[in-house]
């Protein structure tokens, strides 16, 4: 089978490997579509150290081709999506349903080999059946959606809440959509590219704000009777947007730090946070339960994943796909690769 290898920063090649055979509790998945996100591009560019060579990628869907002897819940031919977060299954956090913060957590494509290949064996606990109307490319986007579902669960948005979402990349757009589904009003989508703001409107944002032409903090205040938003979701991941998010959070409100900056904040005004009694939440990845809920959510057809797919490449063009995703960030929501 063909697989993609990251041999060093920005050095991608495809190589041949043997098809793995599933152990007793595993299923062999023929990968039909994968998607690459900001995390993958960051790893590609060398921003996150990994052991080379590494098979990149963690967003994938496919079809089960073989099941291990202890697998009974799945059959050959089942269309599935893969949960790429592996954990120990034994520690206190794992057994209390907080496996996303297990100390032994491994992400496929980062600490262990990823999904950019034709076949992959995964534990049966890490696949979920795809609803029949969902394509494989959309199925690959269930993983990022599940991280948004997890964050929204921690944010506990109510119909009386106002929400501002800073950044309208794929995750930001999904936050905008899910905030609307929670009944919030107004939901304010903030971004820099007009085409992404148009998509935010399509996702039913009540207002969109162009950070390229307006001061987002002043505009959010204006749209919320000078109060700020009850919930602010920072989905960019820069110190500057984090500061803006803090400034547009209503006193007593919740700030969800979703787009994590790898650079430390130059300063954090603790007095400002204290005076506001601001609640700061750092959601991490997702749990199996969030993944299960995500599958049910897309089965209800209330979330459009199709419009998040902006480019498609064949797996053997992975080098071009990563180069494009890195250099043309403003044109990309999700790049899909098909084996
Ligand atoms: Zn991702
Ligand atoms: Zn654990």
Query: Which domain covers residue 214, as residue numbers?
Result: 148-281
Residue 35 lies in a domain: yes
Distance CA 286, CA 167 (A): 20
Residue 194 placed within a domain: yes
Q: Which of 14, 34, 42, 126 is catalytic?
A: 42
State whether 105 and 169 are in the same domain. Answer: no
Domain assignment of residue 298, yes or no = no
Residues 129, 57, single domain; the answer is yes
SS3 at position 124 = helix
Whether 42 is a known active-site residue: answer yes
152 and 256 both lie in a single domain: yes
Residues 233 and 331 in one domain: no
Token pair, residue 85, equals: 């977060």
Distance 148 CA to ligand 1 centre (A): 11
Residue 294 included in any domain: no
Which DSSP symbol is given to 73? S
User: What pLDDT was estimated at residue 183?
Assistant: 98
Structure-block tokens of residue 316: 């053997």
This prediction's pTM? 0.97
Within the chain, where are the H helices?
A: 38-44, 92-95, 136-140, 142-155, 170-181, 194-202, 216-223, 239-247, 270-276, 288-299, 318-327
Backbone dihedral angles phi then psi of residue 219, each to the nearest 5 degrees:
-70, -40
Closest CA relative to residue 82, chosen from 111, 116, 54, 53: 116
Give the residue carrying structure tokens 């599958």.
295
265, 281, 297 - which closes a domain: 281
Ligand 1 centroid – CA 301 distance (Å)? 22
Residues 183 and 130 in one domain: no
Centre of ligand 1 from the C-alpha of residue 128, in Å: 17
Last residue of a domain, one of 244, 265, 281: 281
Helix 142-155 vs helix 170-181: angle between axes, to the nearest 10 degrees?
50
The question of whether 39 is a catalytic residue gets the answer yes
Asked if residue 27 and residue 92 are part of one domain, the reply reads: yes
**What is the pLDDT at residue 262?**
78
Give the whole-angstrom CA distance, residue 270 versus residue 268: 6
Question: Please, which residues have CB less than 5 A from ligand 2, an ion?
Answer: 87-88, 91, 94, 102
Query: Among all chains, which residue has been given the structure tokens 């987002």?
Result: 216
Ligand 2 mean position, distance from CA 101 (Å) = 8
Ligand 2 center to 96 CA (angstroms)? 9
Do residues 90 and 254 touch, judged by C-beta distance below 8 A? no
Domain membership of residue 296 (yes or no) is: no
Which numbered ligand comes closest to the C-alpha of 106?
Answer: 2
Within-domain flag for 295:
no
Q: Which ligand is nearest to the CA of 98?
A: 2
Say how far apart CA 274 and CA 140 lie, in whole Å.
Answer: 41
Answer yes or no: do 11 and 46 share one domain.
Answer: yes
The answer to whether residue 292 is domain-embedded is: no
CATH assignment of the domain containing 329:
3.90.180.10
State the CB neighbour count (10 A cutoff) for residue 311. 17
CATH for 153? 3.40.50.720
Say which DSSP state 100 is in. G
* Shortest-distance ligand to the CA of residue 114: 1
Residues 196 and 159 in one domain: yes
Let me know whether 106 and 190 are in one domain. Answer: no
Nearest of 297, 329, 334, 280 to residue 312 by alpha carbon: 334
CA of 40 to the centre of ligand 1 (A): 7
Q: Calculate the alpha carbon distances from 285 to 87, 93, 139, 191, 261 in Å.
A: 12, 14, 17, 23, 15
* Domain count of the fold of the chain: 2
Q: Is the separation of the CB atoms in 150 and 318 below 8 Å?
A: no
In the reported structure, the alpha carbon of residue 52 is separated from the centroid of ligand 2 by a whole-number distance in angstroms of: 25
* Among 281, 297, 322, residue at a domain's last position: 281
pLDDT at 94: 97
State the ligand closest to the CA atom of 103: 2
Within 8 A by CB and 6+ apart from 293, the residues are 146, 149
Residues 252 and 322 in one domain: no
State the catalytic residue, choosing from 14, 34, 39, 238. 39
Q: How many CA atoms lie within 13 Å of 77's alpha carbon, on the beta-carbon side?
A: 1
- Ligand 2 centroid–CA 153 distance in Å is 21
Could you report the average pLDDT of every consecutive run of 10 residues in the chain (339 residues)?
98 97 98 97 95 98 98 98 96 97 96 98 97 97 98 97 98 98 98 98 98 98 98 95 96 96 82 93 96 96 97 98 96 97
Question: How many angstroms separate the Cα of 22 from the Cα of each of 68, 119, 223?
Answer: 6, 10, 55
Q: Which ligand number lies closest to the CA of residue 94?
A: 2
Q: What distance in angstroms lies between residue 144's CA and the mean position of ligand 1's atoms?
A: 5
185 and 107 in a common domain: no
Ligand 2 mean position, distance from CA 245 (Å): 32
Please name which ligand lies nearest the alpha carbon of 59: 1
Same domain, 103 and 161: no
Question: Is residue 101, in this structure, part of any structural domain at all?
Answer: yes
């Amino acid at each position: 089978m063909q697989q993609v290898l990251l041999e060093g920063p920005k050095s991608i090649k495809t190589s041949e490997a043997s098809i793995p055979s599933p152990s007793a509790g595993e299923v062999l998945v023929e990968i039909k579509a994968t998607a690459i996100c900001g995390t993958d591009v960051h790893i590609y560019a060398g921003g996150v150290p990994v052991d080379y060579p590494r098979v990149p990628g963690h967003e994938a869907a496919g079809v089960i081709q073989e099941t291990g002897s202890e697998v009974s819940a799945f059959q050959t031919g089942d269309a599935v999506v893969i949960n790429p977060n592996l954990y120990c299954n034994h520690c206190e956090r794992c057994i209390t349903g907080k496996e996303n913060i297990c100390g032994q957590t491994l992400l496929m494509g980062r600490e262990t080999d990823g999904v950019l290949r034709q076949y992959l064996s995964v534990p049966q606990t890490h696949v979920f059946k795809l609803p029949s109307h969902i394509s494989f490319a959309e199925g690959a986007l269930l993983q990022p959606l599940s991280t948004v579902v997890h964050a929204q669960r921690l944010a506990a948005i109510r119909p009386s809440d106002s929400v501002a979402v800073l950044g309208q990349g794929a995750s930001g757009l999904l936050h905008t959509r899910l905030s609307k589904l929670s009944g919030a009003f107004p939901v304010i989508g903030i971004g820099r590219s007009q085409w992404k703001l148009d998509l935010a409107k399509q996702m039913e944002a009540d207002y969109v704000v162009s950070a390229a032409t307006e001061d987002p903090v002043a505009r959010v205040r204006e749209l919320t009777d000078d109060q700020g938003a009850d919930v602010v979701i920072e989905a960019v991941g820069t110190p500057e947007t984090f500061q803006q998010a803090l400034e547009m959070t209503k006193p007593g409100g919740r700030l969800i730090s979703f787009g994590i900056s790898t650079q430390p904040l130059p300063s954090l005004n603790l007095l400002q946070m204290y005076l506001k009694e601001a609640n700061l939440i750092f959601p991490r990845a997702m749990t199996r339960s969030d993944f299960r809920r995500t599958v049910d959510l897309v089965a209800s057809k209330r979330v459009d994943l199709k419009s998040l797919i902006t480019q498609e490449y064949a797996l053997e063009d992975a080098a071009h796909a990563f180069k494009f995703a890195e250099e043309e960030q403003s044109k990309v929501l999700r790049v899909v690769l098909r084996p």
